[in-house]
């Protein structure tokens, strides 16, 4: 038996590594975490054997899962396979992430023993000593569970100051883009982010960001990317752009990584809002960044649909953003969501017309199909559908190399989400009205 009392097995799948690294980093800061043996398991198919081996060596085993709503059905299936292979009273499975937060009871009834609801940094910090001492994990804040078949919750995890926790797991040398902003004031009605992390911005300070950039450099890493719902909102508390804060951030990072380092800003895994794209902003970016493209959130070519989705911008500024980007030497990748709630044939044509116009200017279109994500105002809406005549136009764009993305696969994912939702209610068209 190991001198450590407990093992944490992390289902370390590729689509969740950023979130799991943050939780792993928070665990590194937690009391008694040095008494927990941590093992990363990249494939769910290997979890069964990893659990068996762990139970031979440790007194308690906790398996951590994190997933997005479109992955819920697959993760539930993987869990059933694992639980069919091994079951033990010393073993618990915990699920976290946006789906567990939005649909905790559904997640528990899929077979997970406990769920982490909301932000997980302080929750894992509280779970760690309980796991070591053998205390009941369900008594921690931010945990939900079934008691006698009824859903019970200790509330949501506490909102954090980003500076209080690392943006990755430095002790485990698990690095990823640095989260510089959490939460989003725009509260687009199809997006889970503002409804999990609240509709306000919380920014990591430049001093703190630079500390973790320096840590990466000390490990030989000089390519820096950022996680934020809207890149040019850094340092702002409202809809305005604080270019002084953005420039201070970029210049400070550049001073650490030097001219041979690489900064990516306004591209994956973040984006820029079209109304924030101005010649002045792009001139500032050109001084510091290495990316030759920008991801611009356009979403629709219909003003009515933009308004009903609470986007907060019009169609003209999408066109302007593309023009400004091309003139500054950036390739614009413009996000479009097809099948948004309430779309009429005229709205669909407006989106297709805009997509074709932008492609003609030189942009690439990043296509998505609307998915009714749990926890959003559009969660009860019908799944996104693309009529045949619209599909034909999209495929033509794709054949020209001007359209890419998972939009075709997301049609079936959207249907699956709508079929599996367990919350009650009726989607009303009036929810499209901006309040």
* 38 and 172 assigned to the same domain: no
Q: Quote the tokens at residue 78.
A: 């993987």
Write down which residue in 153, 182, 210 finishes a domain. 153
Write down which residue in 153, 172, 199 finishes a domain. 153
- Pairwise CA distance, residues 299 & 365, whole Å: 10
User: What DSSP character marks residue 294?
Assistant: E
Paired sense of beta strands 181-182 and 178-179, if any: unpaired
* 138 and 279 assigned to the same domain: no
Supply the pLDDT for residue 432. Answer: 38
User: Would you say residue 378 lies in a domain?
Assistant: yes
Q: Which residues contact 258 (CB under 8 A, 6 or more apart)?
A: 222
Q: Is 52 helix (H, G, I), strand (E, B) or coil?
A: helix
Mean pLDDT of successive 10-residue segments in the chain (435 residues)? 81 95 95 92 94 95 96 95 94 96 96 97 94 93 96 94 98 97 95 86 98 98 97 97 98 98 94 98 98 98 97 97 98 98 97 98 98 95 96 97 96 93 64 34
Distances (CA, A) of 204 to 161, 164, 235: 8, 9, 9
Q: At what angle do helices 206-218 and 243-257 cross, to 10 degrees?
A: 20
Supply the pLDDT for residue 434. Answer: 30
Burial of 87-115, coded b for 16+ CB within 10 Å and e otherwise, reads eeeebbbbbbbbbbbbbbbbbbebebbbb
- Pairwise CA distance, residues 181 & 270, whole Å: 10
Q: Which residues contact 425 (CB under 8 A, 6 or more apart)?
A: 380
- Alpha carbon 203 to its chain's center: 16
Write down which residue in 153, 178, 205 finishes a domain. 153
Q: Which residues contact 421 (CB under 8 A, 6 or more apart)?
A: 103, 106, 372, 374, 379, 380
The residue range of the domain holding 119 is 6-153
The answer to whether the Cα torsion of 210, 216, 217, 221 is positive or negative is negative
Give residue 312's region: left, alpha or beta (phi > 0; psi -120 to 50).
Answer: left
User: Would you say residue 39 lies in a domain?
Assistant: yes
pTM, two decimal places? 0.94
Find the CATH number of the domain harbouring 286: 3.80.30.20
* Angle, CA 18 vertex, CA 15 and CA 22 arms, to 5°: 140
- Pairwise CA distance, residues 431 & 314, whole Å: 20
Looking up tokens 């068996």 gives: 52
- Pairwise CA distance, residues 44 & 83, whole Å: 12
Supply the pLDDT for residue 195. Answer: 86
- Pairwise CA distance, residues 294 & 6, whole Å: 45
Paired sense of beta strands 226-227 and 178-179, if any: parallel
Supply the pLDDT for residue 196. Answer: 82
Are 204 and 257 in contact, with CB atoms under 8 Å apart? no
CB neighbours of residue 155 within 10 Å: 11
* 93 and 173 assigned to the same domain: no
H helices, E strands: number in the chain:
15, 17
Supply the pLDDT for residue 373. Answer: 95
- Phi, psi (degrees; rounded to nearest 5) at 229: -70, -20
User: Would you say residue 205 lies in a domain?
Assistant: yes
Burial of 403-413, coded b for 16+ CB within 10 Å and e otherwise, reads bebebeebbeb
* 132 and 198 assigned to the same domain: no
User: Would you say residue 1 lies in a domain?
Assistant: no
- Pairwise CA distance, residues 141 & 155, whole Å: 6
Q: Quote the tokens at residue 283.
A: 């001139």
Q: Which residues contact 174 (CB under 8 A, 6 or more apart)?
A: 17, 21, 24, 25, 168
* 83 and 171 assigned to the same domain: no
Q: Is 338 helix (H, G, I), strand (E, B) or coil?
A: strand
Find the CATH number of the domain harbouring 102: 3.40.50.280
* 255 and 187 assigned to the same domain: yes
User: Would you say residue 119 lies in a domain?
Assistant: yes
User: Would you say residue 327 lies in a domain?
Assistant: yes
Picking from 105, 114, 43, the residue whose alpha carbon sits closest to that of residue 74 is: 43
Greatest alpha-carbon span in the chain: 68
* 245 and 182 assigned to the same domain: yes
- Pairwise CA distance, residues 121 & 138, whole Å: 16
Q: Is 300 helix (H, G, I), strand (E, B) or coil?
A: coil
Are 371 and 383 in contact, with CB atoms under 8 Å apart? yes
- Alpha carbon 350 to its chain's center: 29
User: What DSSP character marks residue 381?
Assistant: S
Burial class (CB in 10 A: 0-12, 13-18, 19+), 327: exposed
């Amino acid at each position: 038996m190991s001198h450590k009392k407990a093992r944490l097995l992390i289902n370390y799948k590729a689509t969740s590594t950023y979130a799991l690294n943050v939780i792993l980093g928070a665990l590194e800061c937690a009391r008694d975490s040095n008494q927990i043996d941590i093992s990363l398991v990249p494939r769910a198919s290997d979890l069964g054997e990893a659990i068996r081996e762990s139970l031979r060596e440790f007194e308690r085993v906790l398996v951590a899962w994190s997933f997005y709503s479109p992955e819920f059905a697959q993760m539930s299936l993987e869990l059933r396979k694992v639980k069919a292979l091994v079951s033990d009273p010393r073993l618990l499975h915990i699920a976290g992430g946006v789906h567990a937060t939005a649909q905790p009871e559904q997640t528990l009834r899929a077979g997970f023993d406990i769920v982490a609801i909301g932000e997980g940094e302080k929750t894992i910090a509280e779970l760690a000593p309980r796991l070591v001492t053998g205390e009941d994990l369900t008594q921690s804040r931010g945990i939900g569970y079934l008691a006698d078949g009824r859903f019970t919750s200790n509330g949501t995890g506490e909102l954090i100051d980003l500076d209080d926790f690392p943006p990755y797991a430095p002790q485990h040398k698990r690095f990823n883009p640095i989260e510089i902003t959490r939460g989003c004031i725009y509260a687009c009605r199809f997006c889970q982010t503002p409804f999990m992390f609240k509709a306000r911005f919380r920014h990591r300070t430049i001093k703190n960001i630079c500390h973790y950039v320096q840590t990466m450099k000390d490990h030989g890493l000089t390519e820096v990317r950022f996680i934020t719902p809207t890149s040019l909102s850094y340092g702002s508390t409202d809809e305005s752009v604080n270019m002084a804060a953005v420039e201070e951030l970029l210049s400070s990072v550049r001073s650490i990584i030097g001219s041979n380092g690489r900064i990516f800003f306004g591209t994956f895994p973040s984006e820029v809002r079209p109304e924030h794209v101005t010649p002045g902003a792009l001139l500032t970016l050109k001084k510091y960044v290495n990316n030759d493209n920008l991801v611009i959130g356009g979403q629709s070519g219909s003003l009515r649909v933009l308004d009903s989705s609470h986007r907060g911008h019009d169609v003209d500024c999408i066109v302007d953003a593309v023009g400004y980007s091309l003139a500054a030497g950036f390739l614009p990748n413009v996000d479009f969501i097809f099948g948004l709630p309430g779309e009429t044939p005229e709205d669909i044509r407006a989106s297709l017309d805009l997509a074709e116009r932008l492609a003609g200017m030189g942009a690439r279109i990043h296509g998505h199909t609307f998915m009714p994500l749990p926890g959003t105002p559009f969660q009860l809406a019908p799944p996104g559908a693309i009529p045949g005549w619209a599909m034909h136009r999209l495929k033509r764009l794709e054949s020209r190399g001007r359209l890419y993305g998972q939009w075709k696969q997301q049609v079936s994912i959207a249907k699956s989400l709508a079929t599996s939702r367990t919350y009650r209610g009726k989607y009303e068209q009036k929810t499209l009205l901006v309040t």
